[in-house]
Amino acid sequence: MPFKTMSLSDPLVQGILASGYTAPTEIQSRAIPLVTAGKDIIACAQTGTGKTAAFVLPILDRLQRQGNTKKKVIKALILTPTRELTVQIDKAVSGYGRFLPVRTAAVYGGVKIHGQLKALNRGVDIVIATPGRLIDHMQRKSIDFSHIEVLVLDEADRMLDMGFIRDVKKIIAALPEKRQTLLFSATISREVQTLSADIMKTPEKIQIGRQNPVETVTQHIYPVQKERKMDLLLHLLRQQQMTSVLVFSRTKHGADKIRRRLKNADIASVAIHSGRTQAQRLQAMDGFRSGQFQVMVATDIAARGINILGISHVVNYDVPAYAEDYIHRIGRTGRAAATGDAVTFVCPDEMKYLRKIESFIGKKFTLAAVRDLTTSQAPAPKSDPNPGHKRPMKNKKRKFYRNNPKRPARKKTGAL
């Protein structure tokens, strides 16, 4: 369905064409008709699917149809987790709405508040904001929510992961009850479901994107005791052609710990998670992309939107608790038709998550891996210099590995 047949107003269609878009993406063709019909929606879609236009275009269309009133009042509020996303959406609104008399304000922290106060005071139609700074404005009474008709929560899962739940709830409580609510999230976690149940009325659900692993990724399951995971990671890093490795940890704390231990083992690595500043994250990503770091350790949320070509391996150091995250994680390799390997370490406690992934992708992992796991056969490095010890003898081991850079390749267990 071309944009022209979506009953969007003419100047808006002109703006879309001027942005270089010829046809809507899947999320756009599914969401736009529902949003223009006034429905609440929950859309499960990642960055890169065209989700921004899926909510921005119907908002601009609504404003255009209402006509250009003399006094500007805020009709739409878009909440996002980060400053970067706020700026990006603001630019998208200006691009699509280039032939419309629309005014926006981007409201985010880390910059002086003065410019934002001026913009709000002058009057705007759309506010795009991060929760923290928006609360600042609420406290200063510099923002009027009373005319808001549409609320968008973009990257809702990331917003909750970053600890914004209380702020988000506080903001929503201050909005008119009669409004349309659109929620976009890469994953629909339990937290997101709970939030949506509180703030939306019988939303329509849209699911976009892969639910199956891409075929260019070979999956391997390694049963291993929890305390041997680092040994196994070091072993794999030393003996395989693992040039560019993205390691996933379920928690920030875990990611930092893995990174510290890799550093102790002289492996060039870096960690990204929501506890690190945006500048640190960008620096980490650049370093990983350029090959300065062999390994990047990441949490699920921090890795969202990572678009780095040439990642040779994804390692699930922890099995993700949500099956959707497994798909997103392993999809970081095998991109642009290149091949990649995804390696998952499974300790007995994590079997329940593995089962969830199996039922999600509709495929059983090999029995060999499960048998190994239930008999607790951790695939310890053959030449592990320190068998049976829970804590590795770091220096001795490091020296051992340095002196044995080319050991014969170990056969992988449980390749799918």
| Site for ligand AMP, rule CB under 6 A | 21, 24-25, 28, 47-53
CA distance 301 to 366: 29
Nearer to ligand AMP, 12 or 373 (CB): 12
Q: Provide, rounded to whole angstroms, the least separation between the CB of residue 149 and ligand AMP.
A: 22
Q: Which residues contact 115 (CB under 8 A, 6 or more apart)?
A: none
Nearer to ligand AMP, 49 or 64 (CB): 49
The neighbouring-strand residues paired with 199 are none
Q: Provide, rounded to whole angstroms, the least separation between the CB of residue 331 and ligand AMP.
A: 15
Helical packing angle, 394-403 and 229-239, nearest 10°: 20
Q: Provide, rounded to whole angstroms, the least separation between the CB of residue 396 and ligand AMP.
A: 49
Q: Provide, rounded to whole angstroms, the least separation between the CB of residue 63 and ligand AMP.
A: 19
The neighbouring-strand residues paired with 320 are none
Q: Provide, rounded to whole angstroms, the least separation between the CB of residue 325 and ligand AMP.
A: 19
Nearer to ligand AMP, 49 or 239 (CB): 49
Q: How distant is the alpha carbon of residue 326 from its chain centre?
A: 12
Nearer to ligand AMP, 167 or 300 (CB): 300
Nearer to ligand AMP, 20 or 405 (CB): 20
Nearer to ligand AMP, 51 or 229 (CB): 51
Which residue, 103, 161, 104, 102, is CA-closest to 131? 161
Nearer to ligand AMP, 25 or 94 (CB): 25
CB-CB contact of 241 with 312 (8 Å)? yes
Q: What tokens were used for 144? A: 């009027």
**173: phi then psi, degrees, rounded to nearest 5:** -65, -25
CA distance 355 to 210: 19
CA distance 379 to 373: 10
In which element (H, E) is residue 265 found?
none
Q: Provide, rounded to whole angstroms, the least separation between the CB of residue 53 and ligand AMP.
A: 5
- Number of CB atoms found within 10 A of residue 308's CB: 16
Q: H-type helices in 19-161, by residue range?
A: 26-36, 51-66, 83-96, 114-122, 131-140, 156-161
Nearer to ligand AMP, 2 or 115 (CB): 2
Q: Provide, rounded to whole angstroms, the least separation between the CB of residue 49 and ligand AMP.
A: 5
CA distance 274 to 302: 6
Q: Provide, rounded to whole angstroms, the least separation between the CB of residue 226 and ligand AMP.
A: 37
DSSP states of 165-200: HHHHHHHHHTS-SS-EEEEEESS--HHHHHHHHHH-
Nearer to ligand AMP, 4 or 402 (CB): 4
Q: For tokens 């590795």, what's the residue?
A: 392
CA distance 416 to 394: 33
Nearer to ligand AMP, 25 or 294 (CB): 25
Q: What is the 3-state secondary structure (H, E, C) of 46-57?
A: CCCCCHHHHHHH
Q: Provide, rounded to whole angstroms, the least separation between the CB of residue 57 and ligand AMP.
A: 9
Q: What tokens were used for 396? A: 């001795």
Q: Provide, rounded to whole angstroms, the least separation between the CB of residue 128 and ligand AMP.
A: 13
CB-CB contact of 267 with 294 (8 Å)? yes
Q: For tokens 């990572």, what's the residue?
A: 306
Q: Provide, rounded to whole angstroms, the least separation between the CB of residue 51 and ligand AMP.
A: 5
Nearer to ligand AMP, 250 or 332 (CB): 332
